[in-house]
Amino acid sequence: MKYYLSFLLLVVAALARKQPESKMAPPGINQLATQYVRLALDIGRYDSSFVDAYYGSDSLQPSATKKATFSKDSFLLEVQHLQDALGQLLLQTTNDTIQKRATWMKAQLTAFGRRIKIYSGEYASFDAESMDLYSVAAPVYPETHYQALVAQLDTLLQGKGTVQERFQLLCNRFIIPKAKLDTVFHAAIAECRKRTLHHYTLPANENFMLQFVSDKPWSGYNWYKGNYQSLIQINTDLQIFIDRAIDVGTHESYPGHHVYNMLLEKNLYHDKGWVEISLYPLFSPQSLIAEGSANYGIDLVFPGNDKIAFCKDVLLPLAGLDTTGISIYFKAQAIKGQLKFARNEVGRGIINKTMDTPTTMRWLKDYCLMNEETAKKSIRFINVNRSYVINYNYGMELIKNYMEAKAGGAADADKRWEAFGVLLSNPVLPSDLLKASK
């Protein structure tokens, strides 16, 4: 599989050399892509969360002096002009590549518009916001849906106390001691990298740096630096359980954010010269693809019982922890995974002002199985990142449906990795996921 992909990359690279994009394309798309990047960088001078990664040319950085105040109306006008120009181009062209690039940028720009408004203090409802930012609205489930899932946990977890207390007791057996964090995380990332390299050829100089930090609203973050380098930061404010090591190895690293960013940089930016790819706007449809695929990647790297086996054989001994109960722990985690949609309801409640603080805390504790400190952290995350929460759970569901439509179930591993590689190497929109899954 690895050889097939590298052969494909060579063919694509050879074609790109023979017929440079600028000669094939009618004038317009590359200029518009440059304007798109310039606009994002300009907004990013005010809104520090706007640009998550940029590895393009310094020459596109805004040269004009930064104005004292954020000019909402003029930025919105720029977004509108750029969307109109892309719309014109779409009417004129029959070139598939240009259509794909223009459609993708248009959707990304809708997100720019919404984010500009949010940054200026103009808010919409949770679903209207996520439609603009991530092109989808997550499904709403009634409280009874979550109660039924908690009832499954009740049956699974033996002992006295509430389900939440029993769940917490089980989790507490698998807290990684602080002194072992570095060793355990490096071992997990190394295994995920090895398994990913079995299927993909990655750039020879690719690398990452792992750092432990504190006082952040998130639990982990991949800062992609360009040139195939990532800085992966892990927040140590809260206790870190053994499955976090697997999550960081896959979600943040291989084949999650680190690999996703590298494949885009290599295949689209360097090989094809698509300038718009060099900038990753955080609050955009691209994040639904990024978070959804990063979460889906966990099952790709560790299908079936592989995760439990790897924990038992490698990670728990490295952490100096007993392996008793690890199978039930992962069964409970799988149910908790389905409960993650409850965080969307909490997000809706906070953003739409339909839940007061005690109610949000109750939902996070009862249905997201969080303890007091994790629940408070989660509220802090939602206040900062708002409807972004849907990207983790609904994003993963959309990617899973797409992958099943493209590559079937877990049986053919090569086919799954190949379809996943195509997904990570193209400007895919949430609407493409929905279309392919029908």
101 CB-contact burial (10 Å; exposed 0-12 / middle 13-18 / buried 19+) = buried
Residue with Cβ nearer Zn ion (285 or 349): 285
How far apart are alpha carbons 148 and 76 in whole angstroms?
45
Alpha helices (H) along 267-371: 285-301, 306-310, 316-319, 326-339, 342-351, 357-366
Binding mask 240-279 for Zn ion (x = CB under 5 A): ----------------------------------------
Joined tokens for residue 172 = 């507490």
Q: How far is the CB of 363 from Zn ion (least distance, A)?
A: 22
Applying CB under 5 A, the span of 80-88, 235-243, 286-294, 351-359 interacting with Zn ion comes to: 286-294
Residue with Cβ nearer Zn ion (21 or 299): 299
Footprint on residues 289-348 left by Zn ion (CB under 5 A): 291, 294
Footprint on residues 12-31 left by Zn ion (CB under 5 A): none
Q: How far is the CB of 219 from Zn ion (least distance, A)?
A: 10
Residue with Cβ nearer Zn ion (52 or 127): 52
CA dihedral 186, 191, 194, 198 (to 10 degrees): -160
Size of the site for Zn ion (CB under 5 A): 2
Q: Cα dist. 205→163, 262, 266 in Å?
A: 47, 11, 12
SS3 175: strand
Residue with Cβ nearer Zn ion (127 or 291): 291
Residue with Cβ nearer Zn ion (338 or 385): 385
Q: How far is the CB of 251 from Zn ion (least distance, A)?
A: 6
Give the pairing type, strands 279-281 and 220-226: unpaired
Applying CB under 5 A, the span of 170-178, 283-291, 359-367, 401-409 interacting with Zn ion comes to: 283-291
How far apart are alpha carbons 365 and 9 in whole angstroms?
48
Q: How far is the CB of 417 from Zn ion (least distance, A)?
A: 20
Residue with Cβ nearer Zn ion (277 or 294): 294
- Bridge partners (DSSP) listed for residue 231: 209, 223
Applying CB under 5 A, the span of 53-61, 225-233, 237-245, 287-295 interacting with Zn ion comes to: 287-295
Residue with Cβ nearer Zn ion (295 or 360): 295
37 CB-contact burial (10 Å; exposed 0-12 / middle 13-18 / buried 19+) = buried
Q: How far is the CB of 436 from Zn ion (least distance, A)?
A: 22
Q: How far is the CB of 220 from Zn ion (least distance, A)?
A: 7
Q: How far is the CB of 49 from Zn ion (least distance, A)?
A: 14
On the CB side of 260, CA atoms within 13 Å amount to 28
Q: How far is the CB of 373 from Zn ion (least distance, A)?
A: 21
Q: How far is the CB of 322 from Zn ion (least distance, A)?
A: 30
Centre a 10 Å sphere on the Cβ of residue 356 and count the other Cβ atoms it contains: 11
How far apart are alpha carbons 116 and 87 in whole angstroms?
21
Residue with Cβ nearer Zn ion (288 or 350): 288
Which DSSP letter does residue 66 get? Answer: P
Residue with Cβ nearer Zn ion (271 or 291): 291
How far apart are alpha carbons 142 and 138 in whole angstroms?
13
Q: Which residues of 216-242 are buried (b: 16+ CB within 10 A; e: fewer)?
A: bbebbbbbbbeebbbebbbbeeeebbb
Interior angle at CA 111, CA 248 and CA 130, nearest 5: 70
Which DSSP letter does residue 368 get? Answer: S
Residue with Cβ nearer Zn ion (267 or 287): 287
Binding mask 151-190 for Zn ion (x = CB under 5 A): ----------------------------------------
Residue with Cβ nearer Zn ion (135 or 253): 253
Q: How far is the CB of 392 from Zn ion (least distance, A)?
A: 7
SS3 427: coil
Report cis status (omega within 30 of 0) of the bond before 62: no
Q: How far is the CB of 148 from Zn ion (least distance, A)?
A: 28
Applying CB under 5 A, the span of 87-95, 288-296, 381-389, 405-413 interacting with Zn ion comes to: 288-296
**Residue ranges binding Zn ion (CB under 5 A):** 291, 294
